[in-house]
Chains A and B, each alone.
Chain A
Amino acid sequence: MGAGHVHVLYREADSPVHRLPPEVKIAAMVAFTVAVVATPRVAFWAFGAYALLVVVVAALARVGPRWLLTRSAIELPFVLFAFALPFLGAGERTDLLGLSLSVEGLYGAWNILAKGTLGVWASLLLAATTTTRDLIVGLDRLRCPQIVTQIATFMLRYLDVLVGEARRMRVARISRGDDPRFLWQLGGFAAGVGALFLRAFERGERVYLAMVSRGYTGRMPPVWQGAGAATAGQWLLAATVPVLAATVAATAVVLT
């Protein structure tokens, strides 16, 4: 299943984590993230425990710390606000390295950063060990609304077709002397995006006609759901991570 369907984040390897069925991994990732988010921000030790869990899973999945850390940069735009909080926060202030910072703001920033980073790590581990194809199968098996998985399937299939079309249009443009090196030369590119949209629309129309010609009535036949669904043992195995995380979260809530 999914031969050749590899996205940029996927790391080809054979590990216990790679072998787990996708639905199990998705469920574990979501449960872990919920546990992390539910943890009180002052329970610092709990976040250490979560980080340890991530490290263990990463080691099992043969994902190196370098890879994980560099890819984590994706969260930066989303947590930029967190860096401003210590300066903007009101209330009691403390002196750190000669700066007067808000205690409340520091806690807020820590809260966003720690939970955000752990969530991103969990998602990255899922992405690194699951092909796009399997992600969709997993969502399907978790009874995710079919319309969502169908849209994802189509995106997966037609992304390459559209990228190829965009590339051909670009080559044709450049061949006619367009050289969009500067921002004010992007007119051709912008018109190209419009043309690409129209082409995508027309293609959608033709794809639909071809599907209807093969008896499509608005519902995908359930051909993939049968084989290879997760066994109880696999569910139990994957449950260790979220169960540990939930225990940590519960303890943290009780202690604080």
Chain B
Amino acid sequence: MIQGVSPTAASLDVRGVRYAYPDGHVALHGVDLTVAQGERVALLGPNGAGKTTLVLHLNGILAATEGSIAVGGLPVTTDRARLAEIRRRVGIVFQDPDDQLFLPTVAEDVAFGPANLGLRGPELAARVDEALTAVGMAEHRDRAPHHLSFGQRRRVAVATVLAMRPEILVLDEPSSNLDPAARRELAAILRTLPVTLLMVTHDLPYAFELCDRSVILDGGRIVADGPTGQLFGDEELLARHRLELPYPFSPVRK
């Protein structure tokens, strides 16, 4: 969903990011990636390609050895106030909802982020309602997370970061462990959200369904960047980076 055509800064601007773990292992060898406002982009790549490492750079949990990252025009630095704003702008939904949902009720967990931003009282309650409604979980607000189904927990996890009104939503393997119906429901919700989306996944059909543009990360480098359909048509490219389409799947848009 493109919100207007004003020449605002890109939601995400990653330039020449290099990262070496303390043990010397280099995980990112100079990554360049720009995501425009309102775009939905799939970040694909085999296990160990550096996808999660890159994601943890986006909100400053890991600091790049070289290179720079800007979110909505705001450069990521190690300054505390700046980091708080960056973490508001970048909403990361982690793969396991049980890692994300740590408070005894759904509503409290959704309130955690905005409360950290300083919201209180009715304003906070309105944020919680807004986020839970956006993922269709408003009627479960007072339930305990471990009493929800896995698909519901994943939707609540999305709500916990939506409540911070992020500039860009980053989802780590959003379709993993979901049954087909939950998978479809989540896709429908993601499509209606008015935010920029970066989706980290190996689930190529899901990427094809939701994202017009895909980026392949392998060996710590961006090796391909283009329209999803075009990338998926190049079997050799996919095979080179350990990506495969399910057998009967054909990347032709109806």
A-to-B contact residues, CB < 8 Å: 1-5, 133, 153-154, 156-158, 160-161, 203, 206-207, 209-217, 221-224, 226
Instruction: Give which listed residue, B94, B117, B143, contacts A4 with CB less than 8 A.
Output: B143
Instruction: Give which listed residue, A3, A161, A211, contacts B105 with CB less than 8 A.
Output: A3
B-to-A contact residues, CB < 8 Å: 56, 59, 61, 80, 84, 87-88, 90-92, 94, 96, 98-105, 108, 111-113, 115-117, 120-121, 124, 142-147, 160-161, 164
| A/B interface sample: 28 pairs, CB < 8 A | A1-B105, A3-B105, A3-B142, A4-B143, A4-B147, A5-B104, A133-B104, A154-B102, A156-B104, A157-B145, A161-B98, A206-B99, A207-B100, A211-B102, A211-B112, A212-B61, A213-B91, A214-B112, A214-B113, A214-B161, A215-B116, A215-B117, A215-B164, A216-B112, A217-B116, A222-B115, A223-B124, A226-B121
How far does the Cβ of A207 sit from chain B's closest Cβ, in whole Å? 5
Q: How far is the CA of A223 from the CA of B111 in the complex (A)?
A: 8
Instruction: Give which listed residue, B84, B99, B115, contacts A207 with CB less than 8 A.
Output: B99
Instruction: Give which listed residue, A1, A158, A215, A222, contacts B113 with CB less than 8 A.
Output: A215
Chain A residue numbers with a CB within 8 Å of B104 are: 2, 5, 133, 153, 156-157
Are A221 and B96 touching (Cβ within 8 A)?
no
Instruction: Give which listed residue, B91, B92, B98, B115, contacts A221 with CB less than 8 A.
Output: B115
Are B112 and A161 touching (Cβ within 8 A)?
no
Chain A residue numbers with a CB within 8 Å of B164 are: 214-215
Q: How far is the CA of A153 from the CA of B91 in the complex (A)?
A: 24
Are A224 and B108 touching (Cβ within 8 A)?
yes
Which residue from chain A places its CB closest to the CB of B96 in the assembled complex?
A206
How far does the Cβ of A158 sit from chain B's closest Cβ, in whole Å? 7
Instruction: Give which listed residue, B56, B124, B142, contacts A209 with CB less than 8 A.
Output: B56
Are B142 and A223 touching (Cβ within 8 A)?
no
How far does the Cβ of B247 sit from chain A's closest Cβ, in whole Å? 30
The 8 closest A-B pairs by CB, nearest first: A221-B115, A215-B116, A214-B113, A206-B99, A4-B144, A160-B146, A210-B100, A213-B92
Are B144 and A203 touching (Cβ within 8 A)?
no
How far does the Cβ of A139 sit from chain B's closest Cβ, in whole Å? 14
Chain B residue numbers with a CB within 8 Å of A213 are: 59, 61, 87, 90-92, 94, 161
Which residue from chain B places its CB closest to the CB of A137 in the assembled complex?
B104
Q: How far is the CA of A154 from the CA of B103 in the complex (A)?
A: 7
How far does the Cβ of A50 sit from chain B's closest Cβ, in whole Å? 34
How far does the Cβ of B151 sit from chain A's closest Cβ, in whole Å? 17
How far does the Cβ of A4 sit from chain B's closest Cβ, in whole Å? 4
Q: How far is the CA of A215 from the CA of B81 in the complex (A)?
A: 10
Are B144 and A3 touching (Cβ within 8 A)?
yes
Instruction: Give which listed residue, B80, B94, B147, contacts A210 with CB less than 8 A.
Output: B94
Sample of 15 more A-B contacts, CB < 8 Å, known A210-B92, A213-B92, A222-B115: A157-B103, A161-B98, A161-B146, A209-B99, A210-B94, A211-B102, A213-B59, A214-B160, A214-B161, A214-B164, A215-B87, A215-B113, A215-B164, A217-B116, A224-B108
Chain B residue numbers with a CB within 8 Å of A158 are: 102
How far does the Cβ of B144 sit from chain A's closest Cβ, in whole Å? 4
Which residue from chain B places its CB closest to the CB of A6 in the assembled complex?
B144
Q: How far is the CA of A224 from the CA of B103 in the complex (A)?
A: 11
Are B103 and A153 touching (Cβ within 8 A)?
yes
How far does the Cβ of A228 sit from chain B's closest Cβ, in whole Å? 14
Instruction: Give which listed residue, B87, B105, B143, contacts A212 with CB less than 8 A.
Output: B87
How far does the Cβ of B217 sit from chain A's closest Cβ, in whole Å? 20
Q: How far is the CA of A158 from the CA of B160 in the complex (A)?
A: 18
Which residue from chain B places its CB closest to the CB of A136 in the assembled complex?
B104
Residue picked from A158, A214, A217, A226, most chain B C-beta under 10 Å: A214
Chain B residue numbers with a CB within 8 Å of A216 are: 112, 116
Instruction: Knowing A3-B143, A161-B146, A223-B108, say if A206 contacts B102 (CB, 8 Å).
Output: no
